[in-house]
Copies of this chain bind each other. A is one copy, B any other.
Amino acid sequence: MSTNKNCIVRISRYKNALNRLKALGFVKVFSSNLADATGTSSAQVRKDFSLFGITGNKRGGYNVDDLIEQMNQIFGKHLVHKVIIVGLGNIGKALLRYKGFEKESIKIAAAFDIDSSKFNDNSIVPVYPLEKLSEFIKENEIKLGVIAVPDVAAQQVFEIMKKSGIKGVLNFAPISLNNDSGVVVNNINLEMELENLIYYVIAAEKS
């Protein structure tokens, strides 16, 4: 529908805010409410909605449930999305233990590592050796993968994922994966995030 990257991120924020507002008992919202809750302008909210063909009522705002439903549609929330995690170190374990993914219809289907002490077939989320990765992805038609291995291993893991049919990757390793294929890669680089923060803090000090 839209091709604006920032717009997608904002829609996700609106959805997040809407769930909170709903919990507070809101039945309808105005574009300015969502703007305040997400730190943007009401015109931006309406423009974003317009790009996705989301409409409300002139003078009546938007119905919260309707909005949430439409956004769930955009993000495929009516289906459960199975995810696998490769690398069960600090980050991998943190994700595995996190309880918040279920309510976003994200299900961690399995984890993979090369450290045999981490293997476990019987836990809620099974942990398998890396050798089983390809097979598991194919058999379970997994589309989403998380890379949480050391940087030197990341490209190798990515190649296996690509070959096996993964369509989207969340990569925590601080390298840019060499990606010619159509696989979507989102990078999370925590060092870079802190660095970025430092840049703006330094810039603010100067002015």
Contacts and interface: CB of A to CB of B under 8 A. Distances in A.
B194 A104 contact: yes
A186 B195 contact: no
A97 B190 CA distance: 13
A114 to B, nearest CB: 19
A120 interface: no
Given A37-B176, A175-B20, A198-B144, A12 B204 contact: no
Interface stretch (A54-62, A75-83, A121-129): A75-83
Task: Determine the interface band of chain A, counting residues with CB < 8 A from chain B.
Answer: 35 or more
B176 A200 contact: no
Contacts of A153: none
Contacts of A174: 16, 100
Determine how many copies of this chain the complex contains: 2
A193 B199 CA distance: 23
A204 B184 contact: yes
Contacts of A189: 12, 16
Contacts of A13: 176, 192
A193 B188 contact: yes
B199 A104 contact: no
Given A144-B198, A192-B16, A97 B104 contact: no
B94 A195 contact: no
Contacts of A204: 167, 182, 184
A170 B193 contact: yes
Contact of A179 (B12, B39, B104, B143): B39
